[in-house]
Every structure is written in C-alpha cells, then in structure tokens.
Amino acid sequence: MKKVYVGGNINGFEEHRRLVEKVIRQFDMIPMMLPSVGGSVLDAITRDINEADIFISIMGRYGSVLDDNGVAYNEHEYDIAVGRKIPCFMYFASDKHPPYIKKEEHIEQYKRFKQKVFVQSSGEFDSPEDLQWEIIQRLAKLERQMGNGGQDALIFVPKNTPLVSIEELIGAVRDDGIRKRFERQLTDLKSQVGLESERVKDEVTKRLQGEHAQQIQDVEAKKDSEIQNLRTQIVNAADKARLEIQTQLQAEHRQALADNTTATEKKKDNEFENEHKGLVKQITTLEDRLRKVTGIFVGIIGVIAVFAVPRLTNMVWLDVHPSRDGLYLGAIVIVIGISVWIAYRNWRGVVITSILIGTVLAIITILGRIGSVPSTQ
C-alpha cells in the first residue's frame, strides 16, 4: 500500500487534515499525519518523507522557523519531497478562507514560498470541503496514471456538488457502469485464462517430449484439470456478476412498481374525493330547492287557511270582532315569516322580525279597537 505524507500547518487546520486523512484511507493508502518518534523533528520529517510515495502539504501561514536563515519546517518538507521526485501536491488557503497567519514577520517568507511552489503542482482551497474535493480529484487522477484501475470506479464530479459521503463520491458508478465493468472484467479474465492455458500447454509439451507415455498422459490429465479449474472460476465469476446485475435490476423494478402504485392510488383518491364533493353539492342544491318549494307551499296554504278556517268553522265572533282586520294582518305576517324560515334557514332574523311585527300589529289593532268601542250600558 502506498504511503502519503501530509505536512504543512496543523493548528487551525484540524478539520482539513481529518477530511484529507479519511480520503487517503478510502483510496487504500496509508496516511502519515504526524512526524514519527525518534531523533529531532527535522530527522523525523526527513525519515518519514523518505518512506512516503506521495507528498501533500496544507498551508495557511509560513509556520515555525527552523534555523537562522528563516526557513520553516514546511519549506524543508517541500524541499525534501521535491528532491526525492515523488508526486507533490501543495494546497494554500485562498483569500476567501479565514486567515491563519499569526506572525506578521513571516508574511514575506510566506509570499516568497508560495511563488516558489506555484511553478510546481499546487492549488488553493476555500474551505475544508473544498480541500477534500481537490484531494479526491488529484488522487483519482494519480491512481489512473499509476494504473490501479481507478478509471472503472471513479467518475468526475463538479466542484460545487455537495458531498453526501466520501464513499459515495469515490465509489460512484454510472447506472450502466456495473454491467459494463463486469463484462469487461469477464472478457479480460477469459483472455488471461486462454493465454495462460496455451502457455502451460506449450511448456508441459516441451518438457515432457521424449519421456514415458504414461507420464505424458498424467501431465495432460493434470493440465486438463487445471484448465477445468480455471473454467470453473470463470463460470463462478460470470454467475456472480450476473447475480449482482439481476439483483440490482430487480431492486430498480420493484422501486418503479412501488412508485407507479403510489401514483395510481393517489389518482383514485383524488377522483373519489372529486366525485364525493360533486355529489354533496348536488344534494345540497336539491335540499335548497326543496326547502324553497316547501316554504312557498306552506305560505300559500297558510294564507288560504287564514281566510278559510274562520268560515269553515263558523267563527261568527271573528266577523263581528272589532279588531278583525288587525288579526288577519297579523296572522298573514306570521304565516309569511314561517314560510320564509322554511325556505331560507339563514334568514332567521327576518323570520323572527316578521313574527314580532305580526304579533305587534295584532295587539295594536286589538287595543285600538277596544279603545274606540263605545260603552253599551
């Protein structure tokens, strides 16, 4: 496994270094985050960088000065890594990043060092997540250059894409990438097995020429057994790849069915709700019409009854009653109020007022008549 030395500033960059360490481990590499124990700090730095395969430095300030020449540990780290000619990745905090320069006397050294490094492989970062993205892209490119098969497992992700997790970013594949990758691996495996089989066959044939026939048969049988084992491995690998692809397709199919079922049920619910609302509206309309017809009918029957009942029942006293007109008027007003109440339930105020008016009219008429009737002594 390759070792990655992570140098630069530590204080103030703990979160940056934690994310970088996690990325390195996801690439199956060994992070070297702190100098090893033994000897001076410079000796430990030199020893660790000499063991490393990749050098990464994270800086936001020049750092502690090592000697009288004003050279910091961070610059010594860089010089040692460049001298070894290993891949060097330098990252500096940009102007958008919170400042981490604490000693004003080192600003000029820091500017000089940045100008020195910028001719090499370097970059800037605005945040810990920005640095994490830069490291992932750089290590992925380096892995492809080193021929570790990273091109099959890695895809390009835009810089502003939010990272759900490092595993999802590094292990992300396209929808059809799984099937293509297994097919490609299966083809390569078959090719390797074929070449290996031919090589083994040729070597065995040359080695056993001139020997006893029985020995040749034994070797042939052994060779056939090895070929059969290799074929079995190919079949197992193909079955495994087919099973994984089938499992993924079934999961996608089940999800699609579930989504379709949910949409259908929702549509049916909406249709039922609309039909229910329409039915309720129709019933309400019919009830309103029935109340109006009933109110009109009651009003007509009531007015007829006001005039018909006294005559049908021979109410002679009403004809000679001095307040007859007022009683008729009050009864008609009351009947109209009741019919309006039946037809329009929301007009209760009008109904009550009509009944009160009718009653008051009848009382006023009766009182007026009494006051105007002469005494019959």
Predicted confidence at residue 172, as pLDDT, reads 44
Nearest partner of 35 among 69, 76, 87, 71, judged by Cα: 76
The fraction of the chain above a pLDDT of 90, given in percent, is: 19
pLDDT digit string, tens, across residues 104-124 = 567 888 888 888 887 556 789
> Given pLDDT bands bounded at 50, 70 and 90, which one contains residue 18?
very high
Instruction: Give mean pLDDT, residues 77-99.
Output: 89
Instruction: Please tell me the distance from the alpha carbon of residue 15 to that of residue 59, in angstroms, as a whole number.
Output: 13
> Given pLDDT bands bounded at 50, 70 and 90, which one contains residue 12?
confident
**57 vs 246, residue with greater confidence:** 57
Do 347 and 314 meet the contact criterion of CB atoms below 8 Å apart?
Answer: no
Predicted confidence at residue 314, as pLDDT, reads 73
Predicted confidence at residue 63, as pLDDT, reads 85
Predicted confidence at residue 313, as pLDDT, reads 76
Look at residue 320 and tell me whether its pLDDT is greater than 90.
Answer: no
- DSSP states of 357-369: HHHHHHHHHHHHH
Predicted confidence at residue 50, as pLDDT, reads 95
For the chain, state the CA radius of gyration: 50
User: Please, is 315 exposed, middle or buried when counting C-beta atoms within 10 Å of its C-beta (0-12, 13-18, 19+)?
Assistant: exposed
> Given pLDDT bands bounded at 50, 70 and 90, which one contains residue 353?
confident
CA atoms within 13 A on the CB side of 328: 14
> Given pLDDT bands bounded at 50, 70 and 90, which one contains residue 19?
very high
The residues facing 32 across adjacent strands are: 5
Nearest partner of 90 among 66, 112, 59, judged by Cα: 59
Look at residue 150 and tell me whether its pLDDT is greater than 50.
Answer: no
Q: Which of 82-91, 245-254, 349-358 has the highest mean pLDDT?
A: 82-91
Nearest partner of 52 among 24, 92, 19, 14, judged by Cα: 24
Instruction: Please tell me the distance from the alpha carbon of residue 191 to that of residue 349, in angstroms, as a whole number.
Output: 97
Q: Which of 24-38, 251-265, 319-333 has the highest mean pLDDT?
A: 24-38
The fraction of the chain above a pLDDT of 70, given in percent, is: 78
Across the chain, what does the average pLDDT equal? 78
pLDDT digit string, tens, across residues 183-227 = 566 677 777 777 877 888 887 777 777 666 677 778 788 888 889
Torsion of CA 213, 215, 217, 219, to 10 degrees: -140
Instruction: Please tell me the distance from the alpha carbon of residue 298 to that of residue 258, in angstroms, as a whole number.
Output: 59
